[in-house]
Amino acid sequence: MPAGEMWDRRFSEQPWPSEPDPLLVELAGSLPPGRGLDLGSGPGRNSLWLAAKGWTMTLLDASRVALTQAEAHAKEAGVRIETVHGDVLGWQPTSASYDLVVVANLHPGTEALSKVLAAAADALIVGGHLFVVGHDVTNLGRHGPPDPDRLLSLGRLSEALPATVSIEVLDLRHRDPDHGTAADPESPDVAVLAWAIRRPGGQPR
């Protein structure tokens, strides 16, 4: 089944979280609004929060259902967004024009993630910020995909980040689980987090 169809079914069958990722709120909350890109946006939980803060947001996702939901939520919230239907794994930017690129909870495997993050960094202006977050491999069987090769670790994410960005934060953090599940101290959602800045001239770090 194509990825878009699979995600269409998932987004149709169950409600998705509407609150932004708390780690994005922590790191991006103080940034001045600019142009933002949300790769693999889903129904727009992060983009809608950014748009409400004055960001001009573009959402890219393989699921038409998710993008339709994002547009409906934006209308309800009184904010404007742009949606683009496409597969993030094959997407390439046409120019370096974004102040912030969000890659949240994508788990395609390390090799594919490297390609996604390289394209994300190429979309940034010099000094623009890249936010990446995903489930750590220690969450296997609790949170995130059931395939350990698709889950993240500090080492995997460090290797996947392109040399054109300077890493400011690379860390493990605890988050409340998604989908309205109550926080469980015995089963925390361990997130792998990266916050990086596009280097001038794309110089290696």
Residue type at position 193: L
Residue 96 main-chain phi, psi, to 5 deg:
-90, 95
Q: Is pLDDT above 70 for 185?
A: no
H or E element: which one contains 190? strand 189-198
Domains of the chain: 3-10+18-190 (3.40.50.150)
Instruction: Look at residue 198 in the predicted model and tell me its pLDDT.
Output: 97
Across 69-158, where does the E strand assignment appear?
Answer: 81-85, 98-104, 124-135
Share of the chain above pLDDT 90, in %: 71
pLDDT of residue 183: 46
More confident residue, 15 or 1: 15
Confidence of residue 186 (pLDDT cuts 50, 70, 90): low
182 vs 64, higher pLDDT: 64
Residue 8, pLDDT above cutoff 80: no
Q: What is the pLDDT of residue 204?
A: 43
Instruction: State pTM to two decimals.
Output: 0.91
Q: Is the pLDDT of residue 201 over 80?
A: no
Residue 84, beta-bridge partner list: 60
Question: What pLDDT does residue 181 have?
Answer: 44
Give the model's confidence band at 3: pLDDT under 50 very low, under 70 low, under 90 confident, else very high: low
For residue 40, give both structure tokens.
């693999």
Q: How confident is the model at residue 13 (pLDDT cuts 50, 70, 90)?
A: confident
Which residues fall within 8 angstroms of residue 64, CB to CB, at 6 or more apart? 4, 8, 85
Asked if residue 37 has pLDDT above 60, the reply is yes
Q: Which of 66, 25, 20 is nearest to 43 (CA)?
A: 66
* pLDDT value of residue 84: 97
Q: How far apart are CA 118 and CA 88, in angstroms?
A: 12
Report which of 120, 118, 151 is spatially closest to residue 134, judged by C-alpha positions: 151
